[in-house]
Amino acid sequence: MKLWVISEEVVARFGNELGACGIELVVCSADDIQEGAIGFLLTKESDGKLLQERMQQLGTGPWLVLVYGSDVPYDLANTLHTQYEHTGEHEVIRMALFTHERALLGGEPDGRWMRFLCKQLARYSLVTMVCGMREVDEALRQLPRYLAWKEQFYIELGASCDEKGISLLQVSRALGMDKRIGHGWLYPSRQDSSLIVRWLEKECRLALQKANIQRIVLWGEDSLWEHMPSDWLAEKDVAVYTGEDKPIPNKKMTGWTLYDSWQDAVQDADLLVIGNASGTTIAELPLSELVNRMRQSYVIDAAACFPVQEAQSYFQAYRAIGENTNVWE
């Protein structure tokens, strides 16, 4: 299925994730109305002008208006629905994707485009739940809050496990046997990274006290390192790797070297600090290759990239949240 969007920026931001569901995005210009499109994708309130401009050119629908993304104001979809429900020109659906496996759709359960969209997503193996538009808005509003609370709980539990000399991994798995809890708790898309940053800084300072470390690799999104206090990195050779094909960070990291290759970044490193593995392949790397490229294989991992026992057998020291309480002793 094909939907019009207001700009190439929208295509660049949402094209891949929606394309994985079989939804193609095309820019709708005044001079070139793309044939085959069945409606519009709105990702922010200002996109609404696209509807007004194109309605006169396209004539009556009914067209699909798919309201998508976290930047959409609360209740926008419901407002549009109220505006157009009497004309029959548009069917408004509020949509959210969860982990590329499940979709939440808000709108009329028996609507023509709702039925069409459910079938479309099913063809791409997505499980859908249909509810009200405001229910989707509320779920999107509360999800980051809940995930942040859950992550904070497990980080605090990790500190308790450290004190008791037990494994957070095993405790979290045990808790996850209760279906009400589940196993996942580290969320790379977190809005507030302060807890992770504090944990990383504490562990890195301990590592610098216990080992002769000169070259440090920071692995993860640049937004994380921008909030990291840098005094403990003074006079160190600091390499930063944010992932392949990632743009250069807007904020200049004075004295730090940015790499677009993980092999070059970790070459002759003494300490690898993993803050966020999202968008990278670190969890898939052979540990032997990683170790061979490093001068010393000290690793502090806030993303739980490796099985603990395997990491312990390869690295000189491996520290993950709630694991290896005596690693720096």
Task: Decide if 211 contacts 270 (C-beta within 8 A).
Answer: yes
Query: What superfamily in CATH does domain 2-131 come from?
Result: NAD(P)-binding Rossmann-like Domain (3.40.50.720)
pLDDT at 132 over 90: yes
| Span of 101-115, 188-202, 214-228 with lowest mean pLDDT | 188-202
**Of residues 272 and 148, more confidently modeled:** 272
pLDDT at 185 over 90: no
- Which carries the bigger pLDDT value, residue 319 or residue 60? 319
Q: What is the mean pLDDT of residues 303-322?
A: 88
What CATH number is given for 194-320 in this structure?
A: 3.40.50.720
Q: pLDDT by residue (tens digit) across 214-251? A: 999 999 887 788 878 888 888 899 999 988 655 555 45
How high does pLDDT run on average in the chain?
84
Over 50: is that where the pLDDT of 252 sits?
Answer: no
In this predicted structure, the answer to whether residue 60 has a pLDDT above a threshold of 60 is no
Residue 52: band (very low, low, confident or very high) from pLDDT cuts 50, 70, 90: low
Average pLDDT over residues 291-305: 92
Can you give the pLDDT at residue 325? 46
Average pLDDT over residues 144-163: 85
Rounded to the nearest 5 degrees, what angle is found at the Cα of 17, between the Cα atoms of 12 and 21? 130
Residue 321 has pLDDT above 90, yes or no: no
> Is 48's pLDDT higher than 60?
yes
**What is the average pLDDT across 104-123?**
94
